[in-house]
Every structure is written in C-alpha cells, then in structure tokens.
A and B are shown apart, each in its own frame.
Chain A
C-alpha cells in the first residue's frame, strides 16, 4: 500500500519524530502527547516481517509505503476494503483523493482507479446517506471485477 500526498511535507527531524508514538504536532488537540497513526503501521509491518518506508520533502509532500506479509500469522486481515474506501471518499471537505488498485494474479494484471472529484460529480454531496451507500456498492463492484484475475496482492494509492 502506498499513500502519497502533496501536503506540507516534513524535514528530516520531523520525519523521525512522526514515527514516535509519543509525538504529535499538537495542532488538532493541544496538550495531547500521542500520535498513533504511523506508529501503528510501523508496528504491524515490523511484527509480521513486512516492510515500511517513508520519505518526505518539506513543502512538497510525503510518501508512505507499507508492504504486508500475508503469509504471517499476525498480519491483520485486510477487512472490508470497499466500505473503508467508501468512507474515505465520503469524508467531508474539498480534497481530491485518487485511489489506484492493482491486482496481479495467475490470469494477469487488472487495475482500477477512482477520483473523488468524479465521484462527487456523479453523486452530489458525498456525505448523504445515499452517496455513502452507493460509494460502498461502487467499490464493491470494482473489487469484484478485480478479483477475477486471481490471488490477492496489490496496492492502493
């Protein structure tokens, strides 16, 4: 899984601190001393012999790559990906989100891509119950077409 953003980016010192569970920038919640998002990913990849990489450029953005070892006992299940992606797209705001999925299987390679701006164009307000419902169905159908090529391995961006 690779997550790329074109946000504020971090310098080297910030990048190291961001991987510490007892660090947060304190912007969203003052006095708070924990920031668990990245540390959770790092812990999960470490304990299951996966891989984790992060790089960032101040003022340009950040790239996070996590590779999960599906053969390891302690690798958590992927969960309900269509529901997760539906919720990701339904998160309020004007941000663009592009999800790219690739599955390589015995019958070849298949990919799909979804842009939040296009989904909003088709559905209107993405926070409506109807939109949240249809987003989930949309991603479910995209995933079903993907799985036709066979075994699981892939990424999202």
Chain B
C-alpha cells in the first residue's frame, strides 16, 4: 500500500462519516499503555476496541494511549468519556471486556459493573490536582 492509497482510503471513510447524523458527538477511549498495561494485554484490548467499534460502524471515536494510571494491579485499564455517561475507568479490560464495553457502555449506555473504578489512584490525583 502506498501513502497515496492510504490517503484515498481516509478520504473515502471521511465522506461516509460526513453523511452520518450526529457525527460530532465524539467518544474518547483512553487506554493505559504503560509497561504494566501492555504486559497485562492492553494492546489486545485496544485491538478489540478497534475491531468491535468498526464492526458496529461507530466512527466518531478518538483513541488515546496514555501511561500508567496507577492501577497496575488491575491492568489493562481503560477510561471512557462520552456524552450522556459519566467518565468511567474500567479495570481488567481484556478483549472480551472491551467488546462488552462497546455493546453495553457505548451503545446501550449501561455500566459494565464488575469492571468499574471510580477514579485514578490517590498519588496521581494529588500530583495533577485533578478531581473527578
């Protein structure tokens, strides 16, 4: 594949997205990709999100890779930010849980209870001064 072909594929996808209603309501998926996250399977979880979102034709998504969120014991960790739902951090997100989050949290707006965390660990909150 050449860079030109890659550019053409992007433009094709962009046109399809422009035709969609409500395409501006974006969803943010934040994946912890520190050594702890990757060792626990964060790359596989990220791949599963990409596959599942594409198969459900959900396009308005940004995927951000970040470092460790301080939950090394519960990696892979993933935070979901979207309209109509509180910001939620999920822990122990393997590929299957990633698919569950797409179905339940993103499509049906229901929390995936067993994997919910309420906020990042305390030392990180203190450092950034950010409260959820």
Contacts and interface: CB of A to CB of B under 8 A. Distances in A.
Determine chain B's interface SS by DSSP, over half rule: helix
A132 B43 CA distance: 12
Contacts, number: 80
Given A134-B10, A141-B1, A30 B46 contact: no
Contact of A133 (B1, B54, B62, B64): B54
A40 B34 CA distance: 13
A59 to B, nearest CB: 25
Given A83-B43, A87-B46, A134-B6, A128 B61 contact: yes
B1 A92 contact: no
B63 interface: yes
A87 B3 contact: no
Interface residues of A, number: 35
A29 B6 contact: no
A91 B58 CA distance: 21
A15 interface: no
A131 interface: yes
Contacts of A107: none
Determine chain A's interface SS by DSSP, over half rule: helix
Nearest to A35: B35
Nearest to A37: B35
Interface in A23-42: 28-31, 36-37, 40
B46 to A, nearest CB: 6
B19 interface: no
B64 A127 contact: yes
Interface of B: 1, 3-4, 6-7, 9-10, 13-14, 17, 33, 35, 43, 46-47, 50, 53-54, 58-65, 67-68, 70, 123-124, 127
Given A92-B65, A121-B3, 5 more contacts: A28-B67, A87-B33, A122-B4, A127-B64, A129-B60
